[in-house]
Amino acid sequence: MPTITPCLWFDGKAEETATFYASLLPDSRIDKVHRAPGNYPSGKAGDVLTVEFTLMGRPFVGLNGGPHFKFNEAVSFQIPVETQAEIERLTNALSAVPEAEQCGWVKDRYGLSWQIVPRKLPTLLGDANPARAKRAFESMMQMKRIDIAALERAADGQV
């Protein structure tokens, strides 16, 4: 079945980036590397032009389009996690700008933003008890990296 495939614009680092992301996430791989059949504005014949890759079972394309466009926070990718250890592993691997960390968001060395989100976060923030949800939300808003146990304590009023 056809699907929408995000195309990410890179300045010559599409293959490096795809390889890095695939090394971090389950069900991820490089599917195909395409080389330019001729010269183009940001490269020459034989350079890597596009990389087809899969992250957590989803298709992506990396395009070596040159220095013309940069990522910004208007687009980010969420990574659902079960454990605090996963939060720490992924944050440590992806965060290249520690001062940009906020509420589980990180910016990587390629400029792309990620959200490292515990699977239970929507349940905590959408709790049927509004006071419990508010406490969890207010706690999360103070965090750089999300701390699952601290969110649960806050939701329970054990701050």
What is the DSSP track for 86-97? HHHHHHHHH-S-
**pLDDT tens for residues 97-114?**
999 899 999 999 999 999
Residue 159, pLDDT > 80, answer: no
Residue 1, pLDDT > 70, answer: no
Residue 147, pLDDT > 60, answer: yes
Tokens 């220095």 identify what position? 67
Q: What is the C-alpha separation between 45 and 35, in angstroms, rounded?
A: 7
Tokens 């949800």 identify what position? 133
| Both tokens assigned to 70 | 């940069």
Q: What is the C-alpha separation between 12 and 62, in angstroms, rounded?
A: 10
Architecture of the domain whose range is 7-64: Roll (3.10)
The neighbour count for residue 44, using CB atoms within 10 Å, is 9
Kind and range of the H or E run holding 52: strand 48-55
- The CA R_g of the chain, rounded to the nearest whole Å, is 19
The reply to whether domains 7-64 and 76-155 share a CATH topology is: yes
**pLDDT tens for residues 20-73?**
999 999 999 999 999 999 999 999 999 999 999 999 999 999 999 999 999 999
Tokens 């014949």 identify what position? 45
CATH topology of domain 76-155: 2,3-Dihydroxybiphenyl 1,2-Dioxygenase; domain 1 (3.10.180)
- Annotated domain spans of the chain: 7-64, 76-155
pLDDT confidence tier of residue 19, bands split at 50, 70 and 90 = very high
User: Biggest alpha carbon distance in the chain?
Assistant: 63
Average pLDDT, the chain: 96
pLDDT at 3: 84
Q: What is the C-alpha separation between 1 and 103, in angstroms, rounded?
A: 35
**Nearest alpha carbon to residue 124 among 107, 105, 103, 144:** 103
| Both tokens assigned to 62 | 């990396």
